[in-house]
Amino acid sequence: MSNRVGKFEKVSIGQFKSDFVSCVGGTEAAAARLFENVKLPVRATAGSAGYDIICPFDLTLAPGEGVKVPTGLRIKMQPGWMLLILPKSGIGSRFRLQLDNTMGLIDEDYYDSDNEGHIMVPITNDSKSGKVLELPAGKAFVQAVLVPYGIIEDDSAEGKRKGGFGSTGV
């Protein structure tokens, strides 16, 4: 069995602009310039499990501040796989960088959602020592790990995803 089970892609510039404006409050012109900074994730070494996701724009978060980062990325995965999003360990330990949903989980069918499967990363600087988190554009801040998953024998789910980020919530 091959362990090559997914492929990262960029979302459309239109999707990135829309999400950048709504999440960060920037302009469409700024988003168009920043879209060029979106790089497909890579592993740092052949033995790394995680693919580094970079921040496509300069970001400063004071302690307690948070933002939903539009990464400009999506992933197409084979059935039976999911993508986990985790903070980079160095940034997580120095600044207590936290994902607001504790761990990001990208389902295999998220790729075809209304938002083009745009991977959004909600983060907060939870520093207890007053440290300001400064992420320059191009700096890796989270990592993505592909993981297989199973379903129970009598599973009967037939629904189709429509919405984007957070759309399967009940």
- The answer to whether position 109 is within a domain reads yes
> Residue 27 — very low, low, confident or very high, per pLDDT cuts 50/70/90?
very high
Give the closest residue to 8 by CA, choosing from 129, 127, 121, 145. 145
- Is-contact 57 134, C-beta < 8 A? no
Domain interval for residue 112: 6-148
Residue 80: which CATH number? 2.70.40.10
- The answer to whether position 137 is within a domain reads yes
Higher-pLDDT residue of 7 and 1 is 7
Instruction: Look at residue 161 and tell me whether its pLDDT is greater than 70.
Output: no
Burial 7-29 (b: 16+ CB within 10 A, else e): ebebbeeebbbbbbeebbebeee
- The answer to whether position 53 is within a domain reads yes
Number of separate domains in the chain: 1
> Residue 170 — very low, low, confident or very high, per pLDDT cuts 50/70/90?
very low
> Cα(66)–Cα(122) distance, rounded to whole angstroms?
7
- The answer to whether position 155 is within a domain reads no
- The answer to whether position 92 is within a domain reads yes
Whole-model pTM above 0.85?
yes
pLDDT digits (tens, 9 = 90+) for 75-119: 999 999 999 999 988 887 777 888 998 889 999 999 999 999 999
- The answer to whether position 76 is within a domain reads yes
- The answer to whether position 34 is within a domain reads yes
